[in-house]
């Protein structure tokens, strides 16, 4: 049959889009490379790493375990200064995509994020447009729709216009702050900062453990699979093919004619009136570049040469803080944040939010050992392994007796920060380096956080320049009005192709300074409204 919509990926772009199209009566087929969480043998309520035979960083030999836990299981190659590293990124693969693993914060971008060039006048070499092809005002009603759909709980950010009488009036009430989080909330408020309860897509069922980093099976985490994919399948006639890898898209010069995929050893070519890529900002450009043909010799939809370029991943650092509250407090939830450093003087930085609990000690120790092994002094790895038993009590204190804040710094787009297909020992390759302008902004945020936290003791876990921490990847198929400087148009349709759209974070022309999930979902609902209004040929 010919589907009205074939959607490749079921995360925060693909699932809300498909849900909206199926509700409107369209015949929707979801293709998902990972497993459906409803399959027998799914690993929930614990990190995949806790099921490895011995403590280790994720590697190809853990593929089956990672897949059962909703995790991406392929190897990525990345540059790290003069060295090349191989790693398995911590992103989702399965029903709900990365949202099935996320910490459930659904935060809006600020209106200024939609005019990025003016926010970074010193970054002359960054590929920042003057403006997104849509405004905050155009996206605002879809932000509200997405917040209501995902049943967000939180309180208004006092630094945003509107307050409780405006954009946040539909938020549900969050549970009370835990004691240690309440201590820090009051501390920051006393420092003339503006903390608020971050918007969380969580039901907070009794005994909720937040499930950050792993699947939740308690009908508590409102991810894209639970909120959009499952209702689309159960109530609106959509179909899901899971464990289905899309190999390439066949196309003429003007339209996609077939989706070539493989499911459990069977190769198929599927036909859809419209095809939507929502595989994530790493996999979507890889697939487009893999779909080169005589009609598209440089990759499908790549007349601009920008497919895979302008990769952004946010610069994230962790601040591990020892509160005055006695040990034994609950540190699992993301509870509060503040945006006083989002725009600091003439410098745009980003947001600060509760991080939740760090991964278990064996997971942390294995990750640290891998960082040492692939770092500039790999000969230290055997010594680190010997020292691990001594380090574990220290790590346990970090996990159980500390509160963690994460600073999320806006990353800027540069054409040579990019994703490309790889061969041999990796599925794809990431080329990425931090520019001097951005290194200065990272340093400025660290100074501001140091001053804001005085007199608290804390440990800074520097992750901002670590290519293996590929948080919030976006930007690799940007949208815009000019086909020469963008891959997609303002409605996320690929330039030059009548029926191909991209609705994951690839479309971002700038990254903002906060979590991207809500913006992805809101835009998917916007695109769905546009599609429903168009006749189906």
Domain boundaries, the chain: 2-55+62-532
What is the structure's pLDDT at 379? Answer: 46
- Burial class of residue 492 (count of CB atoms within 10 Å of its CB; 0-12, 13-18, 19+): buried
Predicted pLDDT of residue 343: 94
Write the DSSP symbol of residue 80.
E
Report which of 318, 354, 401 is spatially closest to residue 197, judged by C-alpha positions: 354
The b-or-e profile of 176-201 (16+ CB within 10 A means b, else e) is ebbebbbbbbebbeeeebebbbbbbb
How would you label 500-519 residue by residue, b for 16+ Cβ within 10 Å and e otherwise? bbbbbbbbbbbbbbbbbbbb
User: Could you write out the DSSP letters of every residue in 409-442?
Assistant: EPP---TTSEEEE--SS-SEEEE----HHHHHHH
Q: Is the peptide bond before 235 cis (omega within 30 degrees of 0)?
A: no
| Contact criterion met (CB below 8 Å) for 13 and 505 | yes
Element counts in the chain: helices (H) and strands (E): 12, 19
CA dihedral sign, ordered 29, 104, 365, 85: positive
3-state percent breakdown (helix, strand, coil) of the chain, nearest 5: 30, 20, 50
Sign of CA dihedral 478, 480, 483, 484: negative
What string of pLDDT tens digits covers the 537 residues of the chain? 899 999 999 999 999 999 999 999 999 999 999 999 889 999 999 999 999 998 888 999 999 999 999 999 999 999 865 568 889 999 999 999 999 999 999 999 999 999 999 999 999 999 999 999 999 999 999 999 999 999 999 999 999 876 444 678 899 999 999 999 999 999 999 999 999 999 999 999 998 989 999 999 999 999 999 999 999 999 999 999 999 999 999 999 999 999 999 999 999 999 999 999 999 999 999 999 999 999 999 999 999 999 999 999 999 999 999 999 987 788 889 999 999 999 998 899 999 999 988 887 777 777 766 664 555 545 444 554 555 565 667 677 777 888 999 999 999 999 999 999 998 889 999 999 999 999 999 999 999 999 999 999 998 988 888 888 887 999 999 999 999 999 999 999 999 999 999 999 999 999 999 999 999 999 999 999 999 998 776
Dist. CA 228–CA 16, nearest whole Å: 5
pLDDT for 363 equals: 77
Q: Which CATH number fits domain 2-55+62-532: 3.20.20.80, 3.40.50.300, 3.30.460.80, 3.50.50.60?
A: 3.50.50.60
Q: For residue 63, what pLDDT is reported?
A: 96
For residue 369, what pLDDT is reported?
60
Q: What is the pLDDT of residue 266?
A: 96
Q: Which tens digit of pLDDT belongs to each residue from 394-417?
A: 677 777 888 999 999 999 999 999
Q: Whose structure tokens read 């339209």?
A: 255
């Amino acid at each position: 049959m010919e589907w009205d919509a074939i959607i490749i990926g079921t995360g925060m772009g693909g699932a809300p889009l498909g849900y909206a199209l199926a509700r409107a009566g369209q015949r929707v087929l979801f293709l998902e490379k990972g497993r459906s969480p409803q399959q027998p043998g799914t690993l929930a309520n614990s990190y995949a790493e806790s099921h490895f035979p011995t403590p280790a960083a994720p590697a190809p030999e853990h593929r089956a375990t990672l897949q059962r836990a909703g995790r991406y299981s392929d190897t990525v190659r990345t540059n790290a200064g003069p060295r090349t590293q191989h790693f398995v990124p911590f992103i989702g693969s399965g029903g709900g995509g990365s949202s099935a693993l996320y910490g459930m914060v659904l935060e809006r971008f600020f209106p200024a994020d939609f005019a990025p060039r003016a926010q970074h006048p010193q970054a002359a070499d960054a590929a920042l447009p003057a403006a997104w092809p849509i405004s905050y005002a155009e996206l605002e009603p879809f932000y509200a729709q997405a917040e209501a759909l995902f049943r967000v709980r939180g309180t208004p950010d006092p630094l945003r216009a509107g307050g409780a009488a405006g954009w946040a009036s539909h938020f549900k009430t969050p549970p009370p702050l835990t004691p240690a989080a309440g201590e820090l909330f009051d501390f920051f408020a006393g420092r003339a900062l503006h903390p608020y309860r971050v918007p969380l897509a969580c039901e907070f069922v009794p005994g909720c453990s937040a499930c950050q980093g792993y699947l939740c099976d308690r009908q508590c985490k409102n991810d894209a699979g639970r909120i959009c994919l499952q209702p689309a399948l159960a109530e609106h006639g959509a179909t899901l093919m899971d464990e289905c890898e899309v190999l390439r898209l066949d196309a003429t010069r003007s339209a996609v004619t077939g989706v070539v995929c493989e499911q459990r050893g069977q190769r198929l070519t599927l036909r859809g009136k419209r095809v939507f890529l929502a595989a994530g900002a790493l996999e979507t450009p890889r697939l487009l570049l893999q779909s080169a043909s005589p009609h598209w010799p440089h990759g499908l939809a790549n007349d601009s040469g920008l497919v895979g370029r302008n990769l952004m991943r946010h610069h994230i650092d962790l601040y591990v803080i020892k509160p005055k509250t006695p040990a034994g407090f609950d540190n699992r939830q993301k509870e509060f944040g503040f945006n006083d450093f989002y725009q600091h003087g003439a410098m745009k930085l980003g947001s600060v939010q509760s991080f939740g609990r760090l991964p278990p000690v064996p997971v942390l120790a294995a990750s640290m050992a891998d960082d040492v092994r692939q770092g500039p002094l790999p000969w230290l790895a055997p010594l680190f392994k010997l020292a691990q038993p001594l380090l574990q009590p220290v790590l346990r204190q970090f996990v159980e007796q500390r509160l963690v804040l994460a600073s999320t710094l806006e990353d800027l787009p540069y054409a040579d920060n990019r994703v490309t297909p790889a061969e041999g020992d990796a599925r794809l390759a990431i080329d990425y380096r931090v520019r001097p302008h951005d290194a200065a902004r990272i340093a400025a945020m660290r100074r501001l956080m140091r001053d804001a936290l005085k007199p608290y003791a804390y440990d800074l876990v520097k992750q901002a320049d670590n290519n293996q921490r590929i948080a919030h990847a976006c930007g690799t198929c940007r949208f815009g009005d000019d086909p020469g400087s963008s891959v997609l148009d303002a409605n996320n349709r690929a330039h030059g192709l009548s029926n191909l759209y991209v609705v994951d974070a690839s479309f971002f022309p700038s990254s903002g300074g906060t979590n991207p999930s809500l913006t992805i979902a809101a835009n998917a609902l916007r695109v769905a409204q546009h599609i429903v209004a168009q006749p189906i040929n």
